[in-house]
Amino acid sequence: MLKGMNVAIIGAGAIARSMCQTIRGMKANGRPVELYAIASRSQEKADAFAREEGVEKAYGSYEAMLADPKVDLVYIATPHSHHAEQMKLCIRYGKAVLCEKAFTPNQHQAEEVLHLAREQGVYVAEALWPRYMPSRWIINELLAEGVIGEPRMLYSNLCYAIEHKERIMDPALAGGALLDLGIYVLNFASMVFGDDIVRINSTVELMETGVDRTETITIKYRDGKMAQLMASTAFNSDRRCVIYGTKGYLTVDNVNNPGWIEIFDKDDRVHPIRRIDVPAQITGYEYEVEACLRDLQAGNLEPVEMPHQQTLMLLRQMDALRAIWHIKFPFEDKSPFTDMELIER
């Protein structure tokens, strides 16, 4: 059985540095994880990254790193457009994968990756971090206790002014707000209300490059519940979530990485009747790494917290939204969404 886990990273960029901080923190807490290797398209960049972040090995090619038998888990930290090809490469080398969100730009690419992973018996996980966090279970347990009565409606937003980033602006890199930020609000709605959706409506503002800048999304579920969501790359927002129930409402301070949850009863909109702080964390990314460690030790091929079906379900919703907006990426010859079931009812 795997005792310790050597983590290797593809892509020496911004989020890769947060992962390094996470692994260092986990190791300092006595967890059996090693910050083992970094691979970049440039050896120089890999060397500098390894030196600055304390990574043991630096590779100037992704394949050279994948050929290293000491690598246990590969964390893919590159633009969305490159995830599918890089995951397939890892799978062909027999390496377990933790891939950043969005898993792939569309459902079809994800199906191809997951098919190969099943065929080769290789572990693959989507690094959608709130799925692995304790806040997810805290919120669901509070709702199950009935603290706000029956939940009927939810609201969530996630907006960051990030249009200086090439991967956000460029359609060839599967840019736009949806795959970067919208995925979090869709995921929050999915974690709370599930995925039995009867209709999705949306309004979008496009960037000059043709990808989505700002969007509002309304989801209606079969049981009549509704979700109202917003994402944008043009400005910062409060990132708040509210779940409205028949006896009160529950707020979450940050959809991306919840810090606390407050409960309000229906009569007092100012003073919460209860506040729950989520457990202290290193960065918040440690929970997805712990899940990979548990899964590799248990011989699982997908995470319990983020099953492959869930990855596909969110991609189906994002494909539907891009169909509403008439956005297809240059590497797609047609809109990836063909059944129209969610959007034309």
- Pick the stretch among 8-16, 228-236, 244-252, 260-268 that binds ligand NAP (CB under 6 A): 8-16
Task: Tell me, by CB under 6 A, how many residues bind ligand NAP.
Answer: 21
CB atoms within 10 A of CB 342: 21
Interface with ligand NAP by CB under 6 A: which range of 29-37, 78-86, 132-140, 307-315? 78-86
- φ, ψ (nearest 5 deg) of residue 342: -75, -20
Tell me if 147 sits within 8 A of 244, measured CB to CB: no
Residues 282-321 that bind ligand NAP (CB under 6 A): none
Using CB under 6 A, which of the segments 73-81, 195-203, 220-228, 333-341 binds ligand NAP?
Answer: 73-81
11 binds ligand NAP (CB under 6 A): yes
First to last CA, the chain: 50
Q: What phi and psi values does residue 155 have, to the nearest 5 degrees?
A: -130, 140
Asked if residue 40 binds ligand NAP (CB under 6 A), the reply is: yes
173 binds ligand NAP (CB under 6 A): yes
Q: What is the CA radius of gyration of the chain?
A: 20
Residue 82 in contact with ligand NAP, rule: CB under 6 A: yes
Give the strand order in the sheet containing 73-76. Answer: 57-59, 33-39, 5-10, 73-76, 96-100, 124-127
- Peptide bond between residue 14 and the one before it cis (omega within 30 degrees of 0): no
Does 22 bind ligand NAP (CB under 6 A)? Our answer is no
Regarding 78 and contact with ligand NAP (CB under 6 A), the answer is yes
Binding flag, residue 161, ligand NAP (CB under 6 A)? no
Cα–chain-centroid distance for residue 241? 17
Identified binder of ligand NAP from the candidate list 2, 15, 153, 226, rule CB under 6 A: 15
Are the C-beta atoms of residues 159 and 233 closer than 8 Å to each other? yes
Instruction: Tell me: does residue 57 bind ligand NAP (CB under 6 A).
Output: no
89 counts as binding ligand NAP under rule CB under 6 A: no
Regarding 323 and contact with ligand NAP (CB under 6 A), the answer is: no
107 contacts 84 by C-beta, under 8 angstroms: no
Nearer to ligand NAP, 45 or 220 (CB): 45
User: Is 239 among the residues that bind ligand NAP (CB under 6 A)?
Assistant: no
Q: Is 131 in the site for ligand NAP (CB under 6 A)?
A: no
Among 36, 59, 75, 129, binds ligand NAP (CB under 6 A): 129
Choose among 268, 261, 228: nearest CA to 247.
268
Nearer to ligand NAP, 166 or 339 (CB): 166
Work out how close the CB of 220 gets to ligand NAP at its nearest, in angstroms, rounded to a whole number.
28
Q: Which window, 36-44, 143-151, 214-222, 318-326, contacts ligand NAP (CB under 6 A)?
A: 36-44
Q: Which is nearer to ligand NAP, 172 or 198 (CB)?
A: 172
Query: In this chain, which stretch among 34-42, 137-145, 150-158, 193-201 interacts with ligand NAP, using CB under 6 A?
Result: 34-42
Overall residue count recorded for the chain in this entry: 345
Using rule CB under 6 A, residue 45 touches ligand NAP: yes
Nearer to ligand NAP (CB atom), residue 163 or residue 262: 163
Residue linked to tokens 């891939």: 99
Q: Which is nearer to ligand NAP, 13 or 307 (CB)?
A: 13
Pick between residue 27 and residue 45 the one whose CB is nearest to ligand NAP: 45
Bridge-partner residues for 226, per DSSP? 153, 220
- HSE (CB half, 13 Å, CA atoms) of 42? 6
Q: Which H/E stretch holds residue 212? A: strand 212-221
Q: How far is the C-alpha of 202 from the C-alpha of 196, rounded, in Å?
A: 18
Cross-strand pairs, 154: 227, 243
DSSP 251-309: EES-SSS--EEEEEETT-SSS-SEEEEPPP-SSS-HHHHHHHHHHHHHT-SS-SSS-HH
**Residue nearest ligand NAP, Cβ-based:** 13
Q: Give the interface with ligand NAP as residue ranges (CB under 6 A).
A: 11-15, 40-42, 45, 77-80, 82, 100-101, 129, 165, 167, 173, 180
